[in-house]
Every structure is written in C-alpha cells, then in structure tokens.
Structure 1
Amino acid sequence: MKTPFYLLVYKTFHAQKNRIRPGMGTLGLSTGQPKVLSYLMRHESCLQKELAEAFDIRPATISHILSNMEEKGLIYRQASPGHRRAISISITPRGREAHAQWQTLCHAVEKDALAGFSPQEQEAFSSYLCRMYHNLTGNTID
C-alpha cells in the first residue's frame, strides 16, 4: 500500500527534527529559540506581539521563550519608543553567534536531506512547500 502524503510529510518533518535536535542542545538552544533568533536577524528588533503573530503562537508561549533567551543573554528587552507599555525585543552579539552556529547546523542537515536533488528540483520543492503553507494558512513564507 502506498504511504499517504500526510504521513510522508509528517515522517520527513520528524526525521529532520531528530537530526537537528541534538545539535540544538549542543548549542544551548531549546525549542522555539532558533526561529526567534532568525526572525530578529531579519528584523533587528520587534515587539513581542509581532513574534507571537509571526509564529502563530500564544503571547504567553512567546513570553516564556523570550524569558529563557534573555536569561541566556541571546536577546534583550527594552521599552519601545512610541508604544506605551510595549517591550521591544532585540538580539545580542551572543544571540548573533548562536544564530550563526544554528545556520551552520541547519545547512549541514539540509545538504544531507537534499542529496541527489538537482538545483531545479530543490527550487521546485521549495515552491511546493511554500504553496502548501499558503493553502493551509493563507500566509506566505518570505
């Protein structure tokens, strides 16, 4: 019997996660932190609510992630100019270094995952995943 598509996606996601997780621990990063670092590398600083919206997670969840990141010296929070009671989140030099190490890890796993795929197949595959995400959420991946 042919494996259903949803199961192919699910199993592939978990295989990738299982390859990346040990490296996350080595880098001192926990679940959710790499995506925050990546977002801050692209946006320099942002509001906490922007992070929650960007990742489709509850504000309480992002607050917990940020507290842990602040304790590790990966980010810092400060009052946001022009926004009463809003807190601006920024990345620290230590956070930039952790992000660089994270990127190295991800590129190594990606290289293994895409072995044997031509550049054209990789581009098509990326396009398909972006379309699937849009179909499921109505949002685009930049």
Structure 2
Amino acid sequence: MDKKILADYIDACELIKETEQDIRRMKKDEVVQDKVNGSNPDFPYQKMSFHLSGVMETYLDSAGIEKEKNLLIERKWNAEKLKRNIEKWMGTIPSRMQRIIRMRYFEGKSWEEVAIGIGRNATADSVRKEFDRFIRKK
C-alpha cells in the first residue's frame, strides 16, 4: 500500500458521488403542461379551456442513453470496489496509523493538525516520520 492508493481512495469516493449525480440526471423526467381551448362536440358549441399535463419521453436515442447509463453504473461499481479494498486494508493496520491516515489523507489536515489530533506530545515531524516509516515498511 502506498500514498498513491490513499489518494485513489479519495478520488474513488468523489467519483461515486459524481456518478450517482449523473445517473440521477439521466433519470430525470420532464413534466410538460399546456392549456388549450376547445368546445363541446354538439350544439350549443361552448368555448371551454382544457388543462393538459404529462411526462415528456425521449425517443431520439434511448439505446445510447441506456448504454451510457450502464457505463456509469459499471464505473460506480469499480470505484466502490476500490473503496472497499482500501477500507479492508485500513482494518488490518494499527489504530494509531489508521487515525493518522484518516486525518491526513481523508480529512485533508496538515501534519500540524494531525499531531494536535493525535495528542500525547506528538509533533508534526514525528507524526510524518512515523507515517513515512510505516509506508516504507509496507
């Protein structure tokens, strides 16, 4: 496990969110409303107003839309798989290192903020060196 994979985790989380938004956008149906004038079909012809509404369907490229939707679902599945693998790995490392990685990479804190979060007289350099040693060892 290296630093690149930790960055990939953050990207995978964002990709999942973006893909879900794209899928929702594709499912969005447009409601169309209109008002028309007409009359009774029989005598006496009286002018009447009718309110029409419905869902507008897209017939232009439904096969292309379905293919794109399937690609988005596959992209989301791959990102979720990567996220699960990294979370599984995170469960195997020591608790202190989990906290350091979570604060530094997932929450985006500086080394100074991580050291304050860790507490117990930790300094920014000591936390950073501890992380570097851990990554080199793995």
Shared fold (TM-score, shorter chain, > 0.5): no
Q: Which has the higher contact order (CA 8 A, sep 6+)?
A: 2
TM-score (norm 2): 0.30
* Larger radius of gyration between Structure 1 and Structure 2: 2
Between Structure 1 and Structure 2, the one with more strand by share is 2
TM-score (norm 1): 0.29
